Amino acid sequence: MPDTQPPLPDAASADPRAPIGRNRQFRLLFICLLVIGAGNSMLLAVAPPLVRQLGLSDSSVGWIFSLSALLWVLMSPGWGRLSDRIGRKPVAALGLAAYCVSMASFGGVVLLGMNGVLSGLWLFTWLMLARAIFGAFGSASSPAAQAYIADRTTRMERTEQLAGLTAAFALGQAFGPAICAALAAKFGLVFPIWLIAALAAGASFSIWRFLPENTPPQTERPRGEWRQSLTLITDKRISAYLIYGFALSVVAGVTVQVFGLFTMDRLNAQGEQGAELTAAGFMVNALALLATQMAILPRLKLGSRGLMAWGAGLLALGVTVQIIADSLAALLVAQAVQGLGAGLARPGFTGGASVAVRPEEQGNAAGLVVAANGAGFVFSPLIGGVVYETVGMNAPLIIVVALLIAMFVFALRSRRLRDAVSYEPPPSDPTPPA
């Protein structure tokens, strides 16, 4: 829904329905999601060598992120509903500010651990709590940004536009590891974390100061309550998308957590070298995802269901290649195929969920989609870190391949995906409201 009041001077030329990248509001959201993507990829690249350097177990990588993921799941729908009432801009700005605090706190705790002030259980606990700030409050940015785009696009444009927003995250993931590797080699493993905290602070200020939103997006719509989100979870229009999204999140959580450890063990690399090789893999993955969403996806003209099926199939192929990989080149090929699959699967379920609900439900739906994106990370430490340590390095990936095959079948055969239809708004009344 476009803004109804005259635009502010700094957004005078903004067209609310212009494609991403062509006007101020979408560029701002693009940059902010880019910062989050870069920060997450940097942290994931340095986490495996960091925990080993700090004397923590390999499985602690996943557990550090688990509380944050749980809070992300619980809080995201609430942030989506809040953005329905007070507007998308303040909620998005709050999330980025919390991201800044979380990264700065995480970096501070790591320094305390390196200097021997914290160790063992206390170090692990404080790392988990620092990351939990992101889950509790940083989770506000994504549902607000997705709902902001849903307010300002037609249902036919939405999947492609949301894919463009996801591409911002992927672009950050692509360049974040390369920057991380260079900075870590020169300034140490902690410096990239501080840099992202500073960038997040700048992004939060930019959203608050420059994002044009002159009216709350739903001033004439019913206020959402938590019961509406619970009802929407089981609504047959969206439930199948959420099931698929949760499974995709489990896959992402396990593969991301395991890749750094897998690479270091398979290639016998540690410390900064391990971070560098892990960063290279994440960069290839993100570049493949970005190329898929920016160049391939617009030309495929596939529906949400087709994207979800192809995405799961390619992800399964990529993980299988990783299992048998015996060199860095093979691991990079595996990451490229996985990036291609993720570039199809995520926009498929995200766009499908958005177009399946009514305009007044967009905030709730966006919150649930974001929650599904994070829910798998609550459980991935069990499938990733624990299975990796106790069974073997290939075992988590074999479980992931089996899950992806099930997702492929589900995308092809689910009646709810087959029967999902886009909401058609009723004919508008030409008489303006009093």
The 10s digit of each residue's pLDDT in 317-368 is 999 999 999 899 999 999 999 999 988 888 888 877 777 777 666 667 777 7
Alpha carbon distance 168, 163 (integer Å): 9
DSSP per-residue letters across 267-321: HT--HHHHHHHHHHHHHHHHHHHHHIIIIIHHHH---HHHHHHHHHHHHHHHHHH
Going from the C-alpha of 117 to that of each of 54, 107, 112, 383, the distances in angstroms are 11, 14, 5, 32
Report the range of poorest mean pLDDT among 229-233, 339-343, 389-393.
229-233
The count of other CB atoms within 10 Å of the CB of residue 412 is 15
Task: State yes or no: pLDDT of 17 exceeds 60.
Answer: no
Q: Are 71 and 136 spatial neighbours (Cβ–Cβ below 8 Å)?
A: yes
Confidence of residue 154 (pLDDT cuts 50, 70, 90): low
Q: Are 156 and 88 spatial neighbours (Cβ–Cβ below 8 Å)?
A: no
Query: Once rounded to an integer, what is the mean pLDDT over residues 166-188?
Result: 73
pLDDT at residue 2, rounded to an integer: 34
Q: Write the class of the CATH domain 22-211+225-419.
A: mainly alpha
Where are the domains positioned within the chain? 22-211+225-419
Alpha carbon distance 421, 410 (integer Å): 18
- What tokens appear for 132 in the block? 């939990």
* 358 DSSP assignment: -
Give per-residue pLDDT as tens, 249-308.
889 888 888 888 888 889 888 766 777 788 788 888 878 887 887 788 777 777 888 889
Please name the amino acid found at residue 115: N
Alpha carbon distance 164, 188 (integer Å): 33
Task: State yes or no: pLDDT of 97 exceeds 60.
Answer: yes
pLDDT at residue 34, rounded to an integer: 82
Q: Per mean pLDDT, which of 93-102, 201-210, 254-263, 296-305 is the most reliable?
A: 93-102
Task: State yes or no: pLDDT of 10 exceeds 60.
Answer: no
Alpha carbon distance 212, 48 (integer Å): 40
pTM, to two decimals = 0.67
Which strand (E) or helix (H) includes residue 71? helix 60-86
Confidence of residue 313 (pLDDT cuts 50, 70, 90): very high
Alpha carbon distance 295, 164 (integer Å): 11
